[in-house]
Structures are given as structure tokens and as C-alpha cells.
Amino acid sequence: MGPSFETDFSAKEPSLGYYYQIRYSLYLLLHERKKENPCIRLEDLDDIVIDDVNTKNLFQTKLHVNSKANLSDRSPDFWKTIRVWSEAITTGIITDIENTFFTLITTATISDGSFIHKLSIKSDELRIGVLESMLLIAEEITNVTNQNGYNAFRALTNEQREKLVQNIFVIDASLSIEDTFLAIKQELKFSAPVGKLDSFIEKIEGWWFGQCILLLTNRKDCITIKELQLEISDIREMFSEENLPDDFPNPLTIDEEEINNYEEKIFIKQLKLISTKNNSLRRAISDFRRAYEQRSKWLRDNLTGIEEYNRFDKLLYDHWDRVFSLMKDDCEGLTDDELIKAGKSFYETYYVKSTPTYKIRNNFQPQYMTTGSCHMLADEKKIGWHPNFQELLKD
């Protein structure tokens, strides 16, 4: 595992720059997948670090949104980055400078006549004079903003400065946040199911952002290309003919206020007819919302159609009708309290302790889709739990 250290450059709160860094890091790892076994870190030695078997690649990302910035000889972006790299070398965090590549990625454009042109990946110019120009600027004392960067660069030995300058690469006029998404699409277009590229990338980005949060909170050391490849494979499987992506894998937290907000929903009235308590109401609301939102999202993403929902709902209705009819046969002559108990037992037996075995697709396993869809049917009074629910719910 690579070393890690905290710097003054760590972001203190979420920002658009972090969003850019995270999205760009996904693009970088996809782009570097041909290397032997690359893995990526965030806010380690730099904004983004990619380690391979024999090399370390450090990337600083600089996003400019509201103005067209230029990268000049004295740009704070450049000298803040030089400070980060120089201090990492001085403190011994980076020891093998020759096998470490230092890349500044910026949406700004290099100014005409700047020595930084010679560091650009688009330039064929030799780096003659770059070190001398940097040292001359670093002697200036009037630029307060850049002083820490100047001091850090001057603190290096001559040999360290030479090796650093030889391995600095600047990518200017780089991809914007939107362009980075398009670049990710290019990287993944042959991995995605036909016609499902945007939904496919949305799932991958969702997973990636979750992994990056683990990195940034020190709960994970790095993300390897193998992990990313496995996730891509698993997500692709979600889009197979026998499966669907699960966008709501976790139960929702439902508080008392939300229960009150659902009091007028028919499916809640159905549950109260059989004296269902609040904990079970919370679970029902969670399943109802997840199933409703998931079905709506699949429809928006063109992954399912109304006909498929109608077939699924008919299976659920037929199952309910079969077992509900048996229950009702045993309810003749029962008191009101006994009818409530019969309905409660019916609901708990067939929809809580066990659930209908029908699935919207064979390989989509989450049970909330089945139970939540049943609550959706109950909300339309197509099915119910109390033996006399239809009479009791008449307007």
C-alpha cells in the first residue's frame, strides 16, 4: 500500500472541484486499464494517484467554471501544484522521482509565450530553459500568493528540481465536467448493453462515487482496475433480459411525521383495518416508495414497458385472489374483532413472513419490488387484507 499524508490542500467541504476530481478519476482509471494492474487513490500524494507495478502517476485537477482562465508563468494554479509536489519530495513521501510522473490537468489554457508550453503534452519542444525560468520566478518576493510555492521549489536540491521538471506534464484546455462524462461514454460504449449506455454509466458512476467516499474518509486504501472491471461486469448483468438494475437497494428510514403524511393513502388505511402497528407501517411505506420509484425509473430509462408491469401485477393479483378466497371461506359468522385478526394473520402469513414468489424478472431478487407492488395494488383497492376491505373502504 502506498503512503498517505494530509496537506493544506485537502478540501474542507464538498465542492464542484471534488465532483470533477471524482468523475475525472473514473475516466483516468478506465483510460489506464491496459496497464498491468493500476489502482487509484484520491487525496493521497495528490488529488489523484494512479499506481502501477513500476510507476506512480500524480494528477492535480484544476477546474474553472465561470471564467476562461489562462495558465501563465506566475499562475497560482501552477505554483500551488509545484508546492504540493515539491513538499512531497522534500519530506521523503516521494523518493523515486524518476519513476513518478507529475501531471497538472486544468481546464485553463496555457498563455502564449509561457514556459509552461514546453511542459504541455501537446508540445514537441525540448524543456530547455524551463528550470532556469522557474528558478528565476521563484526568486521573486513581491508575489505573496505564490511565495509558498516558490519556497518549496527552491528548497529542493538541484538534482531533485531537474528530475521533477523532466517528469512534469501539463494537460491544458482539459475536459470539462460534461466532456469528462462524454469521454467515459467513449471508454464504456463497447461494454454497455445495446441502447442502455446512459443508464449503464449512471449505475457505474453511482458505485464509483460511493467507492470514492470510502477513499476520502480513509475507509478504503485504493480502487483497483480489477474491482472496477468486476463491477462493470455485475452491472452489465443487471441489464440482461432476465434482470434489471436495482437503484433502491436499501430500506428507507421512515419517521413518525412521514407515517402521518401517508395516513390518507389507501394502502395505509388497508393496513390499519387489520390493526397494523407503526414498525410494520414503516416497512410498508418503504417498500411502497421503493417499488413505485423503481418502476417509474425503469420506465423512464426504457428498460421496461407498461405491458410488463401489467403482466407482473396480474400474477400478483391472481396469487392474492387464490389465497384470499380461502381465507374468506373461513370468515363467515366471525365477529368484527375476529375478522381483524383473520386479516392480520392473512397479511402476515402471505406478505410478511413469506412473500409471493413471483418476480418481475427471474434474476431480479429484491423482495421490496414484490411487496411494494402489492401495496400499490392495495392502494388501488384491487387487493386487500381485511376480509371485508371493499365494503369498509367505500367512499
DSSP secondary structure letter of residue 143: -
Is the model's pLDDT at 8 over the cut of 70?
Answer: no
248 lies in some domain? no
- The 10s digit of each residue's pLDDT in 284-313 is 999 999 999 999 999 999 999 999 999 999
Q: Residue 303: CA atoms inside 13 Å, Cβ hemisphere, count?
A: 26
Same domain, 211 and 99: yes
Most confident range (mean pLDDT) of 10-19, 157-166, 172-181 is: 157-166
Cell, residue 363: 434474476
C-alpha span between 59 and 6 (Å, rounded): 16
Q: Is residue 22 part of a domain?
A: yes
Average pLDDT across the chain, whole number: 90
Answer yes or no: is 7 within a domain.
no
What are the φ and ψ backbone dihedral angles of 223, each rounded to 5 degrees?
-115, 120
- Tell me the CA distances in angstroms from 155 to 86, 119, 135, 375, one per residue in order: 8, 21, 11, 68
Q: Would you say residue 3 lies in a domain?
A: no
Domain boundary at 238, 268, 302, which? 238
pTM for the model stands at 0.71
Q: Which domain does 280 fall in, by range? A: 256-392
| Residues 271, 219 within the same domain | no
Rounded distance between C-alpha atoms, residue 237 and residue 253, angstroms: 29
CA distance 347 to 352: 7
> In what helix (H) or strand (E) does residue 217 lie, and over which residues does it extend?
none
Nearest to 216 by CA among 20, 1, 7, 22: 22
Q: Which residue type is seen at 92?
A: G
Contact (CB, 8 A) for 180 and 27 = yes
Q: What is the pLDDT of residue 304?
A: 94
Q: How many domains does the chain have?
A: 2
Mean pLDDT computed over 99-120: 92
Radius of gyration, alpha carbons of the chain = 30
Shared-domain flag, residues 267 and 191: no
Report if residue 251 sits inside a domain.
no
In 3D, which of 255, 258, 256, 295 has the Cα closest to residue 375?
295
What are 336-349's pLDDT values in tens digits? Answer: 999 999 999 999 99
- Co-location of 48 and 183 in the same domain: yes
* 185 and 305 belong to one structural domain: no
Q: Are residues 225 and 78 in the same domain?
A: yes
- Is the domain of 50 the same as that of 186? yes
Q: Is residue 243 part of a domain?
A: no
| Joined grid coordinates for residue 132 | 532556469
